Amino acid sequence: MSKKTVLTGITTTGTPHIGNYLGAVKPAIDASENPALDSYFFLADFHALIKCQEPERVARSTREIAATWLALGLDTDKATFYRQTDIPEITELSWILSCQTSKGLMNRAHAYKAAVDANREAGKDDLDDGVTMGLFSYPVLMAADILMFQADIIPVGKDQVQHIEMARDIAGRFNHNFEPLFTLPEAKVDEETQLIPGLDGRKMSKSYNNTIPLFSTSDELRKLINQIVTDTRAPGEPKDPNNTLMHLYRCFASEAESERMRQRFLEGIGWGDAKTELFEYIDAHLTGPRVRYNELMSDLGEVEAILNKGAERAREHSVPFLDKVRHAVGIRSLTDTTTARQQDVVKEKEKSEEEIARAEEGRRRAILMQIRPLLDQVDQAADKAAAAQALVAEKTAEVEALKKKARQKAQNELDLLIEELSALL
Ligand code: TRP
């Protein structure tokens, strides 16, 4: 079976936080270690322009996110790691897909609808106020990211599921109208990692301003953990183990360690002590990657080189694949006069030859399978015949011996009678 392709993108607008790490980066890196999967991870920097018009922030976020993935141990020999903007074929595909995407489908996209709803609530006359074409066509660019690499599995947060469904829709329409070039992708949502709590106990998210940056200094990390909201129970009072500290602890610690911590909450560990433990645990876990992160951030040439290599690898696929897409829709060299139909005929012929060969091989095997038990039966019958013959020979010999004996006996009796008779005479 051929390998499945996993693909995901990260919009480069923020500084990576612990929720990103646990919810996206770590599971993706784990997937890239699975030899049954091909993985593509990329920095969605064109997507960043939709949300963010601060050039410095986009540039900084791109550096930080690239360095983060590498510092956390992404092996770029195993995964293809690149910048969306280094693959011009994606933007080109995005246009071709736009021409297959109904506007009505985009009208239903959550992000666009949210903007319209906000305008309606604010009483604006223009419901599209502040909506750019970038925001409106966001799902098409995302479909191009995915369809370009014929990805099967797209690990995303819940808010992105609709976009993957739209990518399927668009792919289906293209496949139907032209050639079936695109793989239909499927979203994969990990429920558990959707629930990483932030400082205030709600889901950790940039938009709630409750995040813990992944690579702050130890001091900053300690300060932030001390800000985590708890109840007012005093040290010694039993505490509900279903709390933010425990939840975060569990994300890093082993089963056994988590269980021990849970017990300590029940036994009344003070919030301050629990925060210290949590800080120490996370700090120890992140020390190695933090050192590497700082190294990479002070040698961005290395990161740039890695991304360039990743783009080269990605383009080994995207360049020839886009050629096929262009051909399928009729964008061709003037001297290329093969039609899709002609190509289809060639393909059909190849396919049917292959099918015939496969069918013949199948038939040969089926005949062999039917013959084999018959051959076995023949062998068995021959064995039985030989055994029967031996038995016949044995019995014949016995009969002969008996006959001989009987004849002998009769002869003896006859001799006796003759003797007696001659005596009488
Ligand atoms: N829109 C995604 C987000 O904000 C990022 C993204 C862009 C993406 N292209 C993608 C995710 C393709 C998965 C696949 O999280």
Per-residue pLDDT of 236-261, as tens digits, reads: 999 999 999 999 999 889 999 999 99
Give the Å distance between the CA of 408 and the centre of ligand 1.
108
Is there an atom of ligand 1 within 6 Å of 160 CB? yes
| Residue 6, helix vs strand vs coil | strand
The answer to whether residue 141 scores a pLDDT higher than 70 is: yes
Stretch 181-187: mean pLDDT: 97
Stretch 355-375: mean pLDDT: 80
Among residues 328, 348, 347, 314, which one has the least CA distance to residue 150? 314
pLDDT computed for residue 182 by the predictor: 98
The answer to whether residue 41 scores a pLDDT higher than 80 is: yes
293 exposed, middle or buried (CB, 10 Å; 0-12, 13-18, 19+)?
A: buried
Q: Whose CA is nearest to atom 6 of ligand 1?
A: 9
Stretch 153-159: mean pLDDT: 91
The answer to whether residue 283 scores a pLDDT higher than 80 is: yes
Is there an atom of ligand 1 within 6 Å of 145 CB? yes
Q: Is 226 annotated as a binding residue?
A: no
Give the Å distance between the CA of 130 and the centre of ligand 1.
22
pLDDT computed for residue 340 by the predictor: 63
195 in Cβ contact with 246 (< 8 Å):
no
pLDDT computed for residue 199 by the predictor: 94
189 in Cβ contact with 157 (< 8 Å):
yes
pLDDT confidence of 406, banded at 50, 70, 90? confident
pLDDT computed for residue 170 by the predictor: 98
Is there an atom of ligand 1 within 6 Å of 47 CB? yes
Nearest ligand 1 atom to alpha carbon 145: 12
Give the Å distance between the CA of 136 and the centre of ligand 1.
15
Per-residue pLDDT of 45-96, as tens digits, reads: 999 999 999 999 999 999 999 999 999 999 999 999 999 999 999 999 999 9
pLDDT computed for residue 155 by the predictor: 93
Stretch 272-283: mean pLDDT: 95
The model's pTM is 0.78
Backbone angles phi, psi at 209, to 5 degrees: 55, 40
Q: Whose CA is nearest to atom 8 of ligand 1?
A: 9
The answer to whether residue 311 scores a pLDDT higher than 90 is: yes
The answer to whether residue 33 scores a pLDDT higher than 80 is: yes
- Domain limits of the chain? 4-195+299-342, 215-297, 362-424
CATH topology of domain 215-297: Tyrosyl-Transfer RNA Synthetase (1.10.240)
Give the Å distance between the CA of 42 and the centre of ligand 1.
9
Is there an atom of ligand 1 within 6 Å of 228 CB? no
Q: In what order do the strands lie in the sheet with 37-44?
A: 79-83, 37-44, 4-11, 153-155, 186-188
Q: How far apart are CA 243 and CA 237, in angstroms?
A: 15
Among residues 186, 220, 201, 93, which one has the least CA distance to residue 144? 93
Is there an atom of ligand 1 within 6 Å of 277 CB? no
pLDDT confidence of 342, banded at 50, 70, 90? low
Is there an atom of ligand 1 within 6 Å of 318 CB? no
Least confident of 20-34, 301-315, 335-349, 365-379: 335-349
Q: How far apart are CA 120 and CA 114, in angstroms?
A: 10
CATH topology of domain 4-195+299-342: Rossmann fold (3.40.50)
| CA 250 to the chain's CA centroid | 25
pLDDT computed for residue 1 by the predictor: 65
Least confident of 11-15, 39-43, 348-352, 407-411: 348-352
